[in-house]
Structure 1
């Protein structure tokens, strides 16, 4: 695992995610996160976790981003912010929303001024890593200027569609890749990631 993290880090992604959800096959339970280049931000992924535990792991691993992947409501986010301001005032909070065949973007309103970005993932039986994309046509209804991360089953076959959607005025902040680039849960296929990066850079 440590070697694989180093190989991924060598590809210089903007962010590396670590899942702190015990029910996930990608649960990260190592004592520490290997030292990463300063330019790579560490994202801690949490699912309806106790705020005290989120704070504990944020401090322990010097996280840069907290990704909330559960049913956390606005009161949870506000409580989390109150706790973070004392020890980690610069940390970012991303709120995840699972998208199925349709999606009501009005539900984002209560989080608009409380989180730094949204993340849209595919709704499935798991909290993430379900391996297939949702209907990106739904994003045409996104009217906010809040940046968002596009996630959910993105693989090599989505590259051309990604290039097209990133030509629009949607505020796509980042692309999250996961299960389509794994040899097994939590272990990334480095050659596939290299190919993805190379193809994305082609005009």
Structure 2
């Protein structure tokens, strides 16, 4: 099980969290976010995949950020179409992963995923809320029992220490859970992660 720590903002905190060796570290390039990142990413261990999080951004802007920050993954957290994802995929350098986010409620229609199968590397399921992410609430994970695909996915949405037992139960099922994505439940304030809390989960779980 891999781990992604998202919503990083402050250089010193980034380095402290980086020392825990999460598999992915997310930087939000959406200006309306309280966790908006507008600096330079400090040097991190090569094993950490730096992930840019974008919301309805242009392909050109995404490519610019990928090149500026040497990103290894792109997370699309808006209403990006299949055509948009395909266009982006053809312009990204080989090996850069595309993670397409879907906001899930109890009535989520999994059939919308099928057209995206060929244009992204992973899905990410987050809780449908007022903001594109970082709402700090979980969705009913039982809805994932209807997941019709074998494409691996990130599980996100209000995951904190209190949710880890439930997460581990999901991991034991047939579902292709690739990684957990944590953010607001491990924060002191938006963008500032609680190192002690993060040490309580299996960051390096390989």
**Shorter-chain TM-score range:** over 0.9
Equivalent in the alignment of 1:120: 125
1:16 partnered with 2:25: yes
Provide runs of 4+ in structure 1 moved above 6 Å.
none
Partner Cα distance (1:114, 1:195) in 2: 35
Report the number of matched residues.
196
Matched, 1:97 2:97: no
Using the TM superposition, name which of 105-114 and 189-198 deviates more: 189-198
Cα RMSD, aligned residues only: 1.3
Q: Cα offset for 1:82? A: 2.2
SS in 2 for 1:195: coil
Match of 1:53 in 2: 61
Determine if the alignment matches structure 1 residue 133 to structure 2 residue 142: no
TM-score of the pair, normalised by structure 1? 0.94
Structure 1: runs of 5+ lacking an equivalent: none
Larger Rg: 1
Unmatched segments (≥5 aa) in structure 2: 1-9
The answer for the alignment partner of 1:190 in structure 2 is 195
Return the alpha-carbon distance in structure 2 between the equivalents of residues 172 and 141 of structure 1. 14
Q: Show the counterpart of 2:14.
A: 5
| In 1, Cα distance between equivalents of 2:85 and 2:164 | 34
Report the TM-score, using the length of structure 2 for normalisation: 0.92
